[in-house]
Amino acid sequence: MKLHVDASVSRTRWLMAGFAMSLVLPSFGIVHKYGGIAGVTAYAFLSSLALMLFVGYRTAIAGYAFRLTDRKVKLLTAGTFFLLVIAFVVVYPMANSGVYGRGSDGDEALNLATTELLHGRYPYYPTTYLGNLISPLPGALVLAIPFVVLGNAAYQNLFWLVVFVVAMASYLKDLRSALLLFWVILALSPIVLYTFVIGSDYASNSLYVLLGILWMTTARSRPTPRRWDGVLPAILLGVGLSSRANFLLLLPLVLFARARIAGWGSALRLSLIVCTTVAAVTLPFYVYDPHGFSPLHTYNKLGQFDSVVPRAGIAIPLLTSILGLLLALRPTSKQDPSSWLGKCAIVLAFPVVCGIVLSTIKSGTLEPEFWSFGLFSLFFGAASSWGEIFGGGLVKV
């Protein structure tokens, strides 16, 4: 019994550490940009203190949360997103005006490329107002089409944050817990709010991939399976994976997660659909003009460290693939999707950690550039840990 309790406590501590790192570390870059080392130190201390207080008082917080009626919780959810809309309306124009820094050209990249695509032209020839090439893969352009038609690709951030809260309410079996998770993310991860108000698509990229994986891997098979079961989630996930190359590293985890839940037949069939969709969405643009296919320039993100580690641009993705395969092979309860999300977070975070270490070695100082890429793993890590760490105090089953 004592060994079981010790193991449980040890697991909780590891989950808590993972939850804290998922939320805090990705924001170091943006905090350093505006507050320097002193700002990073203060942010790390205050966010850690806030998390410890939250854990210590989670039972009291849960008691208050469940005294709220469902109607009040829905009003709080609506109010949260209303405030986000106001923040976007106020800050987004200022960020793009150049008055408070150069903002982000991620939204313009999507707007330019998607507009070219809608007009039947090759989307990867334009450059942004900062002179940057178009980085997102074709899947990101496809998913941005409705928002570009509405006027701006940046609108997708609000949409996917709403979908995230709705999906977490279903996953955690209570809107209170999902909303509280969302509040904790906004409070402790300024990178999320920052990318939202400047129109960057990093959060949206990770959210639609996370939700696609959760939908496809947890969809229950019928007692008598039908040919089309799971096809739509697989297609949508394939489009999502074709948004940025780093998400393709999650494919082994997706395959094994589905196999544990529904068997290898279903897993192989749906994974084939995912891979076919990725190829169908991406390859035509590459074949049309391999030299003009600008997403390939993102190789330089890791290739710049070839002088530190030979062929780093190839070696790091290869090592990450091996890590993903090893994590996929590790036994996991088929009824425990949170562990798969946690493994996805590790795979997405590994290249970022490598970039942070190598950039520090190369420059001789702590470089903040790579920290922000941790946003790709933030929602995976937060969603995977929340239910188990806080579930006993926050979720009614």
CA distance 382 to 178: 11
* pLDDT digit string, tens, across residues 47-79: 989 988 887 777 788 778 778 888 999 999 999
So what's the pLDDT on residue 397? 35
CA distance 361 to 309: 10
User: Per-residue DSSP letters for 301-340?
Assistant: HHHTTTTTSTTHHHHHHHHHHHHHHHHHHS---TT-HHHH
DSSP state of 67: T
Whole-prediction pTM:
0.90
CB 265 within 8 A of CB 252: no
pLDDT band at residue 391 under the 50/70/90 scheme: low
Spatial CB neighbours of 390, under 8 Å, sequence gap ≥ 6: 55, 58, 177
| Residue partners of 316: CB distance under 8 A and separation at least 6 | 302, 309, 350, 351, 354, 355
Cβ-count burial 36-66 (b if 16+ within 10 Å, e if not) = eeeebeebbeebeeebeeebeebeebbeebe
pLDDT value, residue 4? 46
Q: Where are the domains of the chain?
A: 2-387
If pLDDT is split at 50, 70 and 90, which confidence band does 111 have?
very high
Q: What is the pLDDT of residues 358-378, one digit of tens each?
A: 988 888 777 777 888 999 999
